[in-house]
Amino acid sequence: MQTNLISKGNVKLLEAPNINSTGLAIAYFSTRKGGISTGENGEMNLNLFKPNDRENSDENFKIFCSSIGIDPQSLVLGREKHTANIRIVDRDFCKTDFFAKGDENIYEYFDAQITNDNEVTLFVYSSDCSVFLFFDPVKKVIATTHAGWKGSLNGIIPKTISKMTEYFDVNPADLFVAVGPNIKQCCFEVDKPVCDEFLSYDNEFKKYIVEKNDKFHIDLDGINTELIVKSGIKPENIANNTHCTMCEEEMFHSYRRCKGNNGVNGAVIKLL
């Protein structure tokens, strides 16, 4: 199953059909289309943590949320840093003004969040890294995970799923997962030391690695999907996509393409 590109006014989004069709939750990924930022941040930059485009970015959050009918003050996000830190959140996390959180949360690093509170919209951002939206329609629990290659090798994906089971008695076989746009094998080129880290995690990952001119191209989607399925999630419950954030300059922000001077893409999931 694939995520679908849709338009809400000027805003273009990817929606997760496996989650949204249940009528019990909504899940969307942003594209660059529909915001007010310009240049390499343009248009839809959803970045609460970089000061250079904060005013536009705050307005973009309002436009993005309005397009899908949610209140920006319901958004809860963690500051991401390729950790395996996971937190359980609820509506108390919405008490602070969302737009003040860029400063307040600066020392808190969480790459995954879980909630069963239908007043909370979980938000996760990325610019090449993979993001995952999880939904359990039985226990009514949602989660977000941000996983660059370091996060994947830190085990953040299976750890998120385990924590959903530990706290909310989630059965992984019930879970739906939507995967956001990320850097694909065409562009995710690494040197041998990074390649070796993947192989030392699991030598079977060599089937996801192609060598080209002494560099290595890694299929992160292949590896992450394997990690998800090994955690007990059914392959048919996963919605993925073929969008490469680095190749598709018109549609997605990319850290590698802009050498760090980039805007960021966002993703949301909320229980209805």
Question: Which of residues 70 and 194 has its CB atom nearest to Zn ion in the complex?
Answer: 194
Residue from the set 25, 46, 195, 246 that interacts with Zn ion by CB under 5 A: 246
- Interactions with Zn ion, residue window 146-165 (CB under 5 A): none
Helix axes 156-168, 220-230, angle to 10 degrees: 30
Stretch that binds Zn ion, among 47-55, 87-95, 177-185, 206-214 (CB under 5 A): 177-185
Per DSSP, 32 falls in state S
- The H-assigned helical ranges of the chain are 17-20, 54-68, 101-104, 149-153, 156-168, 192-201, 220-230, 255-258
Site track 114-133 with Zn ion (rule: CB under 5 A), x = hit: --------------------
Question: Which of residues 163 and 256 has its CB atom nearest to Zn ion in the complex?
Answer: 256
Helix (H, G, I), strand (E, B) or coil at 262: coil
Residue 143, strand partner residues = 114, 134
Under 8 Å between Cβ of 7 and 14: no
Residue from the set 24, 187, 194, 199 that interacts with Zn ion by CB under 5 A: 187
Residue 186 binding Zn ion, by CB under 5 A: yes
Type of residue at 187: C
Residue 269, strand partner residues = 27, 122
Residue 138 binding Zn ion, by CB under 5 A: no
Shortest distance (Å) from residue 141 CB to Zn ion: 33
Residue 244 binding Zn ion, by CB under 5 A: yes
Please report, as ranges, the residues that interact with Zn ion according to CB under 5 A.
184, 186-187, 244, 246-247
